[in-house]
Amino acid sequence: MSKEPILKIEDLHVAVEGKEILKGLNLTINKGEVHALMGPNGSGKSTLAYVLMGHPKYQVTSGRVWYKGEEILALKPNERAKKGLFLAFQYPTPIPGVTVMNFLRAALKAVQGKEIPAKDFLKLLKEKMKFLEISDQFSNRYINDGFSGGEKKRHEILQMAILEPEMAILDETDSGLDIDALKTVAKGVNRLIGPNLGILLITHYQRMLNYIKPDFVHVLVDGKIVQSGGDKLALKLEELGYDWTVEKTETLSVEK
């Protein structure tokens, strides 16, 4: 039985302030799959994440993006979120004065389009926090205010657990984390992986993939995916670096 694509990107070109960043990107993610996107700084990884969520700074000059069979490039960010798209930020913003609990309840209301009774939401929040092994005190803290790097990323994963998206984009979730924090965050992500959730895991380094096993690894260099493979590809990148993928691509091009 063929798998159903949750996200399909076709020949995507994106510019920022007149400079082309993505230069013909193609990618298909099926339901239940975990795809890792790796690449050096400036290759366009975070650009892709923001484009998928509809950030107005990024101009799509050509190409198409389908989510659950529907073209989404014309949709506003909140409309994409309501349909089940989720982005975990690389650098989550502190919001002093707004508690984690109140924020998550408001976010769930916005996505579902209806009010959630306080009693029902509190029960849901406690269940998800217990599932992710997060302390009860966490919900009363102000969002990312004084949070460690690991706490910021755990809050992103808690959001994902509450909102239950069908497609999650994790933009360098390992950024700024020590080994213990990385293991904790990865454990939370692994608990949410399932047959109805597609994941695009954006990362610089192979170390994240020691704890979250991808079904596919893609290498993005200069705005294009130049290499794709299984999880062993990440190990080869760790050994040989990104220049190896470019050299290999150039060799194949000459041979053709």
**Domain of residue 181, CATH code:** 3.40.50.300
| Mean pLDDT confidence for 155-180 | 92
Angle at 149 between CA 148 and CA 151, to 5 degrees: 65
Q: Is residue 82 part of a domain?
A: yes
Please report the pLDDT score of residue 246 as a whole number: 64
| Mean pLDDT confidence for 184-192 | 92
| Mean pLDDT confidence for 184-198 | 92
Please report the pLDDT score of residue 147 as a whole number: 92
Domain count within the chain: 1
At 193, which amino acid appears? Answer: I
Angle at 46 between CA 37 and CA 107, to 5 degrees: 105
**What rounded mean pLDDT belongs to the chain?**
90
Q: Is residue 97 part of a domain?
A: no
Q: Is residue 235 part of a domain?
A: yes
Q: Is residue 18 part of a domain?
A: yes
pLDDT exceeds cutoff 90 at 159: yes
Q: Is residue 195 part of a domain?
A: yes
Please report the pLDDT score of residue 242 as a whole number: 77
- pLDDT class for 256, splitting at 50, 70, 90? very low
pTM of the model: 0.90
Q: Is residue 182 part of a domain?
A: yes
Please report the pLDDT score of residue 252 as a whole number: 35
Q: Is residue 155 part of a domain?
A: no
Expressed as residue numbers, the domain containing 37 is 5-91+165-255
Please report the pLDDT score of residue 173 as a whole number: 86
Q: For a pLDDT cut of 90, what percent of the chain falls above it?
A: 74
Cα 84 to Cα 112: distance, rounded to the nearest angstrom: 10
Q: 194: which residues sit within 8 A by CB, 6+ positions away?
A: 32
- pLDDT class for 248, splitting at 50, 70, 90? low
| Mean pLDDT confidence for 204-221 | 91
The answer to whether the beta carbons of residues 156 and 173 sit under 8 Å apart is yes
- Residue scoring higher pLDDT (41 or 216): 216
Model pLDDT for residues 17-48, shown as the tens digit of each residue: 999 999 999 999 999 999 999 988 889 999 99
